[in-house]
Amino acid sequence: MALFNKKDKQKKEKEKPQKKPLEIWYTEDGTKIGDDGYPMTPLRTKMHHVWNAYFIYAMILLVWGLACTLLGWFSGETFTDWELRATGGWEYNGYRLATLVRIEALVCLWTAVASVILNLKGFAWMYDRASNGLVNGLMYALLGISIAIELVALFMIHIISPACLINIVLIVMTIITMKQIDEERPSLKKAKRFRKEVK
């Protein structure tokens, strides 16, 4: 019986898919080569980090959105009847805190989904030369919504929406960097592989 178990175990180990090693290529002068075969200039490296930041930001927003949802739930607000009319609860400058944090949670959810899409489509635009139509459309929509909510929060409620403020800064930085990448692209030439690093 033990012999069969040993053979089954060996068979399963052989069937396991082997993890493909990560290969990083460098030019003769030590410049990293991107997935598209072009050298990773400081600008392209910055853009790569920005697209990575969108994914990390999406994960942070999910946690922040959950925290806002829980804060809204435990804010002391009660529902009086079948029409779900809310009464009581904490207030800030005459506005119900539960409503404010629920709006922030919705902003976080929308931004988290948009950030994951921007991460994927942004890398496709950068390395595969895919169209930037969806990336631009999503960024400008998110920027417009974030500016509108931030202005309302600042001038009517006298509070700052952290998610909207970060959205504005991150998107403006992305738009500027994308324009710089577009200007740099014509001057780039395919890099010659010189040294390989396997991780």
Q: Where are the domains of the chain?
A: 41-185
> Which pLDDT band holds residue 123 (cuts at 50, 70, 90)?
very high
pLDDT higher for 112 or 186? 112
Task: Please list, in sequence order, all residues whose beta carbon lies within 8 angstroms of the beta carbon of residue 18, skipping any fewer than 6 positions away.
Answer: none
pLDDT at 1 over 60: no
Stronger pLDDT, 36 or 140, i.e. the higher one:
140
Mean of the pLDDT values across residues 37-51? 90
* pLDDT, tens digit (0-9, with 9 covering 90-100), for 46-94: 999 999 999 999 999 999 999 988 887 777 666 566 555 655 666 667 7
Please give the mean pLDDT across all residues of the chain.
83
- Element holding 146 (H helix, E strand): helix 133-152
**pLDDT at site 2:** 52
Confidence band of 180 (pLDDT split at 50, 70, 90): very high
Could you give the 3-state DSSP secondary structure of residue 85? coil
pLDDT band at residue 178 under the 50/70/90 scheme: very high
What percent of the chain stands above pLDDT 90? Answer: 47
C-alpha 158/C-alpha 100 separation (Å) is 12
Pairwise CA distance, residues 140 & 134, whole Å? 10
- pLDDT at position 74 is 76
Query: Rounded to an integer, what distance in angstroms lies between the CA atom of residue 115 and that of residue 160?
Result: 21
Q: Averaged over 34-47, what is the pLDDT?
A: 86
User: Which amino acid, one-letter code, is at 1?
Assistant: M
